[in-house]
Structure 1
Amino acid sequence: MKQKFYSSKNTVVLIAICLATLMFSLEISSVPVILPTLEKLLNANLRDMQWIMNIYTIGCTTVLMAAGTLADRYGRKRILIITLILFGISSLVCGLAENITILIISRFFQGISGGAMLICQVATLSHQFQEGKERSSAFSIWGIILGIGLGFGPIIGAAVIAILSWKWVFLIHVPIAAIAVLLVYGYVDESKDSDAKKLDIWGMTTLSIAVFGLSYFITQGPDLGFASPIALSIIGATIISFILFLRVEKTNPYPMFDFSVFKIRNFSGAILGSIGMNFSFWPFIIYLPIYYQSCLGYDVVTVGISLLAYTLPTLIIPPFAEYLSVRYRSGIIIPIGLFVIGLGFILMRYGSIAEHASWLTMLPGSLLAGIGLGLTNTPVTNTTTGSVSSNRSGMASGIDMSARLITLSINIALMGFILVEGIFSYLNNAFPGSVEKTTLRLISEKIAAGNFSSLTNDFSKLNTLNSSESVLQAALAHGFEVILLYGGIGVWILAVMSFILFNPRKAESNL
């Protein structure tokens, strides 16, 4: 009878943790679908849309390593409840936001609470489910829910905005968070670690400033002027902050990052896999809805359905990837997964420039990119934690997640910059000398955001009003062609680097 009670109790705990997981994953994959709508309704530009996504990942990065320490010191249940409440409140503010500034600020706090919530979920599961079979089953279900949120996020976001409004993509988390809080409060056992380390405040602060500074420099650089005193001051402060971070981590007796783990080849090779997944695949999901809506003219529901080809393989492939890793080693499967992501991007590039481009021409590349992500994700997670001793697995997992989020944040900014530059290059070649560079760049930024309706006056200056729509679409398609080349070639380079780290002798023999 006692065993049955605890089994039922843990079932409720698992439901609560899965609700929190679902909220976190949906905020990554469902929000990109509503960005073109936000651009129209809230008068947002491309940089605003970048910051809506970017600030969430920066917020997650800010607290990622600190959350585990806080949970160990003050109680995992207590911190989980606090993060759930903060996530619900910040989601409420996001949904009620009437302007972009408030939305971006509230997204930052949503990211902070979401990142801390993610770490607390893992710590709570680890404590609550200690028996081997029960523990394995709990983490498997947790991983499936995380995958469902990421995989079905686009269609869920599209359905919500079609039936209700964009606000409910955020507001839906309020009742879910409330239910999760009640379940956690009533059923989760409190746990602490009497040997919890001190909080690495300086490491957390310097790393956050460095990541934010670099993202800000890339995103706002075109407006400020990359060589302007303000921009140079920002990049200078970013470099100084990163140097201070390295020094703090070397001298701190309780560092967030123990850089000695990078001497382990398997760990370093897996971290390159973490970087590779977030170099192109996840940043591109921010921009793909713009391509489908503005280039192909799809409505929001069709966009959500089209994105399923990109995200669903990430849910289906991981069990197969785990089997392959056992049979052929992660050192082979991770570089192969990265290579497949790159191949998917190259195929999407050809699909985007096809004579009659559509979701069908993009389908093979989208599927391959998703398959590559699915092949890479599980082996990376297993290898980063499995290549170090058990007492360092939490720190290794933290470095893995930090590498993913930092790469994602930087490449959201970089892809936006590359998109605008690709569009600018096309327009500059199409209308040489007919308009000032500054005006042409402003036009490029509006095109990159899919904001065609506001370009009538701008294109009248170019005397191309009659053919403006085709010019806009051609320019935007060219920008996406450049992004896809960047994403494909970049992840291929990381695949080669990962393979060399995992297999130094094989790499040398192949040279």
Structure 2
Amino acid sequence: MSTELSRRGAVVLSAVCLACLMFGLEISSIPAILPTLERVLHADFKQLQWIMNAYTIAVTTVLMAVGAVADRFGRKRVFLVAIAAFGLTSLACGVARDVETLIVARFLQGMSGGALLICQIAVLSHEFQGGKVRAAAWGWWGVIFGIGLGFGPIIGGAVVATLSWEWVFLVHVLFAAIAFVLALGGVHESRDPKASSLDVAGIVTMSVAVFCLAFYITQGPDLGFASPKGLAILGVSVASLIGFLVAEKVSRRPMFDFSVFRIPAFSGAIVGSSAMNLSYWPFMIYLPIWFQAGLGYDSVSAGLALLAYTLPTLVMPPFAERLSLRYQPGRIIPAGLFTIGAGFMLMKFGSAAAHADWTTMLPGCLIAGIGLGITNTPVTNTTTGSVSSDRAGMASGIDMSARMVSLALNIALMGFILASGVLAHLKSVLPGLDGAQLRLMAERIAAGETVSAPELTGPVVHQALASGFGWVMLYGGIGVWIMAAISFALFNARPVRQAEVQCTK
């Protein structure tokens, strides 16, 4: 750590960095153990999706609410509660003996994780308020957060190989205990005297809208997308979204101040924030399945292969910051998104190679990771830097909410696309089988499960997986390219007026 930090500052920074490490690991290490959970807990494809979605939806549910609670009742107090809750819910995940219990525990863990994330940002902002010390603190926070996200897959794979899947969760009980002691002794209490109420209507309506849409996508094939039940769920989602928009318009203290979207730089950056979670991050949930079920690697080898996808996100941010200062975020963010899309297209070609392996996937994985590394830091800096300082916390909350909502929905959507691609291939090579039977096979193959059937030879399963993943990679590539174009258009929508210039100062 920087020598300019005081001893107490180093304690605070250690607590915050440990908290952000826990949060990052619980996103990125879980994909590596999904094949194990499928086998040990007998989880089906949709349940595997919900093991991830329960966490991300819960994070989104509490982000803005916890920020308001912490401002009102004390950031240190809520930070300590969040740390303790994260440790307890991690324990609940580790001792779960069926997939339903694990999903519920993951939802509770996600709620505490969202509180952990928003509180650590508030604590850092209060404890380190200027100069080189602040830059050093935020720099270390970014590095540790990147390590949690970047090395999570190999850490998860190594833990499963050497211990058991439970320890991917149980290790956070120890981490939380250490972070709690550090925060208790080092963090100063702080409040916002202007905080007086919560936007309960906004919290509830946004959460219901996201949950129902994710449920509709994942359960649609079974319910029927056009069935009365399916349409009813979709209708609740749409109605809740409309309710959210109305609630934010009439609330005295709204979660979202929509006036900031009039600032081109803010709107362009938020689109970039959503685009990363349309493509790069949700695909990390499914990439281990391709490496293990598609290419035949064990969990450790799959984790090592995933480093090509994640390591560039650690080394690129300093370079991205220099590029952003020289060429402006309005060019760098869309360029980074375009690079992610190019990586997805290369991965698609690599997965379709005659002898696909990690070397054919390597160029696409590296380029997608480089694109993410170029985009991520400028997006965060632009969302908070394009508004006035008193709106920075709200802008950060919108940024994080956009990321988590996009991530939750695209985990569900990519899973649907993957299973649909596998099913389409099976229909073409096994036309005589019943449609319901083929769909069940497709879902099990998409989950990485070994399916015993005379018709399903090794080559058929591999080609079906390659087809499904090809669809997903095509979606990720084209989707992020479209978002890159929208981001670029928003950044350059109109000249920045003088009032907007003042907001950036």
Shorter-chain TM range is over 0.9
**TM-score of the pair, normalised by structure 1:** 0.95
Partners of 2:344 and 2:112 in 1: how far apart?
Answer: 33
TM-aligned CA distance change 1:215 to 1:5, over 3 Å: closer
Letter of the 1:30 counterpart: S
Partners of 1:198 and 1:380 in 2: how far apart?
Answer: 29
Q: Deviations over 1:150-182 (max 9, x none)?
A: 111111111111110110000000011011111
Q: Is the 8 A contact 2:86 2:176 kept in 1?
A: yes
Secondary structure at the counterpart of residue 6 of structure 2: helix
1:481 equivalent in structure 2: 470
* Cα displacement (A) at 1:6: 8.2
2:107 equivalent in structure 1: 108
1:236 correspondence with 2:225: no
Partners of 2:474 and 2:159 in 1: how far apart?
Answer: 33
**TM-score of the pair, normalised by structure 2:** 0.96
Q: Is the 8 A contact 2:128 2:137 kept in 1?
A: yes
TM-aligned CA distance change 1:271 to 1:100, over 3 Å: same
1:204 equivalent in structure 2: 203
Letter of the 1:440 counterpart: L
Secondary structure at the counterpart of residue 89 of structure 2: helix
Partners of 2:103 and 2:316 in 1: how far apart?
Answer: 34
Letter of the 1:350 counterpart: F
TM-aligned CA distance change 1:134 to 1:5, over 3 Å: closer
TM-aligned CA distance change 1:5 to 1:446, over 3 Å: closer
1:138 equivalent in structure 2: 137
1:494 correspondence with 2:492: no
Q: Deviations over 1:28-70 (max 9, x none)?
A: 1111000001000100111111101111010100010111111
Q: What residue ranges of structure 1 are gaps of 5+ in the alignment? A: 507-511
* Cα displacement (A) at 1:503: 2.2
Partners of 2:228 and 2:369 in 1: how far apart?
Answer: 42
1:470 equivalent in structure 2: 459
Q: Is the 8 A contact 2:344 2:365 kept in 1?
A: yes
Letter of the 2:470 counterpart: E
Secondary structure at the counterpart of residue 172 of structure 1: helix
Report the identity percentage.
61
Partners of 1:240 and 1:131 in 2: how far apart?
Answer: 44
1:509 equivalent in structure 2: none
Name the count of aligned residue pairs: 493
1:26-105 alignment, distance < 5 Å:
26-105=25-104
Deviates more, 1:417-426 or 1:127-136: 127-136
Letter of the 2:261 counterpart: F
Q: Is the 8 A contact 2:277 2:406 kept in 1?
A: yes
1:346 correspondence with 2:335: no
Partners of 1:379 and 1:199 in 2: how far apart?
Answer: 30
Partners of 2:268 and 2:489 in 1: how far apart?
Answer: 8
Aligned CA RMSD, in angstroms, stands at 1.3
Partners of 1:79 and 1:416 in 2: how far apart?
Answer: 35
1:381 equivalent in structure 2: 380
* Cα displacement (A) at 1:230: 1.4
Secondary structure at the counterpart of residue 355 of structure 2: coil
Letter of the 1:436 counterpart: D
Letter of the 1:237 counterpart: V
Partners of 1:125 and 1:413 in 2: how far apart?
Answer: 33
Q: Deviations over 1:242-266 (max 9, x none)?
A: 1000000001111000111111111
Letter of the 1:146 counterpart: F
Partners of 1:184 and 1:340 in 2: how far apart?
Answer: 39
2:181 equivalent in structure 1: 182
* Cα displacement (A) at 1:197: 4.3
* Cα displacement (A) at 1:504: 3.7
Q: Is the 8 A contact 2:147 2:314 kept in 1?
A: yes
Q: What residue ranges of structure 2 are gaps of 5+ in the alignment? A: 496-505
2:443 equivalent in structure 1: 445
Partners of 2:470 and 2:478 in 1: how far apart?
Answer: 12
Q: Deviations over 1:475-511 (max 9, x none)?
A: 11100011000100110011111111112479xxxxx
Q: Is the 8 A contact 2:308 2:365 kept in 1?
A: yes
1:242-391 alignment, distance < 5 Å:
242-391=241-390
Q: Deviations over 1:319-363 (max 9, x none)?
A: 100000000000000000000000000000000001110011000
Q: Is the 8 A contact 2:264 2:494 kept in 1?
A: no
1:503 correspondence with 2:501: no
Q: Deviations over 1:249-289 (max 9, x none)?
A: 00111100011111111111111100110011000001000
Letter of the 2:385 counterpart: G
Secondary structure at the counterpart of residue 191 of structure 2: coil
Partners of 2:316 and 2:131 in 1: how far apart?
Answer: 24
Partners of 1:315 and 1:479 in 2: how far apart?
Answer: 29
- Name segments (4+ residues, structure 1) moved above 4 Å: none
Q: Is the 8 A contact 2:5 2:133 kept in 1?
A: no
Letter of the 2:479 counterpart: G
* Cα displacement (A) at 1:193: 1.4
